[in-house]
């Protein structure tokens, strides 16, 4: 302000003095007028520079002027700098938000007030089979043709979600999507999608598991309670009484085996992964498998040819009880399902890749290909009546799968109906090492009590 007044006064005074020197009083008046016009021209020039810069709206190129216009330009420059900083910060936040949405495991679709797609992330495009470029501005109901979703969208009541089959879902590979609509902005909607296929399958497995456990326990309990009631109400001959008690003992043993297998599964799922601190000679595992296999064949009254290959001089690293359970399960299963006169072969060998395979081959009825992927499910049975006749619980292969996975291995099943089956546990080379000389001549001993099912 002071500089502006000083410039104005100096121009008037200079014009007055110059005019007086040239033309006296009249010249002084003219000089004052000329000084005022000159000041106005300079001021207008500065104002014009500032206004042109303000109209451009750019932070760069701010004019360097003094006076009021310089102060105005300085304040405008600070305001523009602050606006640019806020804009850049908002853009960074928006970009970070969009990046989070793009990588979200849930699908996100932005819909305008008319229901047209404004934007979607890659997950949503995968869920709905959309092309993010081609399908923009398409109505979502036209692209997602499902009666339940159409009714859900048109109801405008979005306080819950709707579950529909995903586009492209088949009976062989079902996929289910949970959809939810959230209002936002002025009539816009946010469509969220979530793949709930695994959750629904887990829920089905849970229900089946509870139903199967209940059925497996209820059957022997019914038999036991019937026998107990008979023994309490009737005076039976000793031979018949002993027969009833024997059958009661069998049913009690069946329930005990089932509970033992359930506890084994629970322990496997809840315990930490096994290390490699315990090394057990392979001969110990094979000796117990052979003992259990022959004992089971005798108990079932079967004439089978059981062949066990000589064990290699190696030790296996891991939890002995778990490994023995897995190995024994494969042997006892083969014995149960192989008819009399058949054969069962088992052995441990090293492959060309350095991994080790525990294989059990039988000459049983074989398994159809459609059953193979589900054999390791709990209580899954190819033939329920035949499985119960053989005394299995339906949990043996589930136990094998968990043990093998916990030890970093793989379970491979090859079977041909009418030609038998081969079950192979593949162990990584890190789980096998040469047997120490001090243990080579040690007599094979059972590793642990197995949980064969």
Q: What's the helix, strand, coil split of the chain in %, to 5?
A: 55, 15, 30
Sheet strand arrangement including 162-165:
117-120, 107-111, 188-195, 176-184, 162-165
pLDDT at 453: 41
Cβ burial, residue 104 (10 Å; 0-12/13-18/19+): middle
**C-alpha distance from residue 116 to each of 40, 109, 122, 210, 339 (Å):** 58, 10, 17, 45, 65
pLDDT at 7: 59
pLDDT in 10s for each residue of the chain, 453 residues: 555 566 556 766 776 667 667 766 767 777 667 767 776 677 677 677 767 666 766 656 666 666 666 666 667 777 777 777 888 888 888 788 778 777 788 899 999 999 999 888 888 888 888 887 888 889 988 888 889 888 888 887 777 888 989 888 877 678 899 999 998 888 889 999 999 988 888 887 778 777 777 777 887 888 888 888 888 888 888 888 888 888 888 888 878 878 888 888 787 777 777 776 789 999 999 999 999 999 989 988 889 999 999 989 999 998 898 999 999 999 999 998 999 999 999 999 988 888 889 999 999 899 888 888 888 887 777 765 554 555 567 788 888 999 999 899 999 999 989 889 999 999 998 888 888 765 444 444 444 444 444
> Which phi and psi (to 5°) does residue 278 adopt?
-105, 125
pLDDT at 447: 45
pLDDT tens, position by position, 265-309: 787 777 777 776 789 999 999 999 999 999 989 988 889 999 999
- Residue 191's SS3 state is strand
| Distance, first Cα to last Cα, the chain | 99
- Residue 376 tokens read as 């390791």
Residue 125 burial (CB count, 10 A): 16
pLDDT at 81: 75
Q: What percent of the chain has pLDDT over 90?
A: 19
Residue of 254, 314, 248 whose CA lies nearest to 279 = 314
Domain architecture of the chain: domains with CATH: 2-98 (no CATH), 104-195 (3.30.450.20), 210-257 (1.10.287.130), 272-440 (3.30.565.10)
pLDDT at 8: 58
């Amino acid at each position: 302000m002071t500089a502006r007044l000083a410039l104005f006064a100096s121009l008037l005074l200079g014009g007055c003095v110059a005019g007086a020197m040239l033309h006296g009083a009249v010249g002084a008046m003219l000089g004052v007028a000329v000084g005022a016009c000159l000041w106005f021209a300079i001021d207008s020039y500065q104002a014009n520079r500032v206004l042109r810069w303000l109209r451009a709206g750019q932070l760069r190129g701010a004019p360097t002027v003094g006076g009021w216009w310089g102060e105005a330009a300085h304040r405008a420059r600070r305001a523009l700098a602050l606006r640019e900083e806020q804009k850049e910060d908002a853009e960074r936040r928006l970009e970070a938000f969009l990046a989070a949405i793009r990588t979200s495991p849930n699908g996100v679709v932005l819909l305008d007030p008319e229901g047209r797609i404004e934007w979607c992330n890659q997950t949503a495009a995968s869920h709905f089979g959309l092309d993010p470029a081609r399908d923009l501005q398409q109505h979502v109901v036209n692209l997602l043709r499902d009666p339940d979703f159409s009714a859900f969208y048109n109801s405008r009541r979005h306080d819950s979600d709707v579950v529909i089959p995903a586009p492209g879902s088949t009976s062989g590979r079902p996929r289910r999507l949970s959809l939810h609509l959230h209002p936002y902005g002025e009539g816009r909607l946010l469509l969220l999608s979530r793949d709930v296929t695994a959750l629904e399958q887990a829920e089905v497995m849970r229900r089946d598991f509870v139903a199967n456990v209940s059925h497996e326990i209820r059957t022997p309990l019914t038999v036991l309670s019937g026998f107990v009631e008979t023994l309490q109400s009737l005076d039976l001959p000793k031979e018949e009484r002993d027969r009833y008690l024997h059958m009661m003992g069998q049913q009690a043993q069946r329930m005990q085996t089932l509970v033992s297998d359930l506890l084994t599964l629970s322990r496997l799922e809840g315990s930490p992964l096994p290390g490699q601190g315990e090394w057990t000679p392979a001969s110990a595992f094979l000796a117990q498998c052979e003992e259990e296999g022959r004992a089971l064949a005798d108990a079932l009254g079967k004439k089978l040819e059981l062949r066990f290959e000589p064990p290699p001089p190696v030790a296996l690293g891991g939890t002995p009880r778990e490994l023995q359970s897995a190995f024994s399960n494969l042997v006892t299963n083969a014995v149960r399902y192989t008819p009399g006169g058949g054969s069962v072969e088992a052995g441990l060998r090293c492959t060309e890749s350095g991994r080790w395979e525990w294989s059990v081959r039988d000459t049983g009825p074989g398994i159809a290909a459609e059953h193979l992927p589900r054999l390791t499910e709990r209580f899954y049975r190819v033939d329920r009546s035949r499985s119960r006749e053989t005394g299995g619980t339906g949990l043996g292969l589930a136990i094998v799968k968990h043990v093998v996975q916990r030890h970093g291995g793989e379970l491979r099943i090859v079977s041909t109906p009418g030609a038998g089956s081969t079950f192979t546990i593949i162990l990584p080379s890190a789980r096998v090492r040469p047997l120490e000389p001090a243990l080579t001549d040690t007599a094979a001993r059972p590793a642990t009590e197995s949980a064969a099912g």
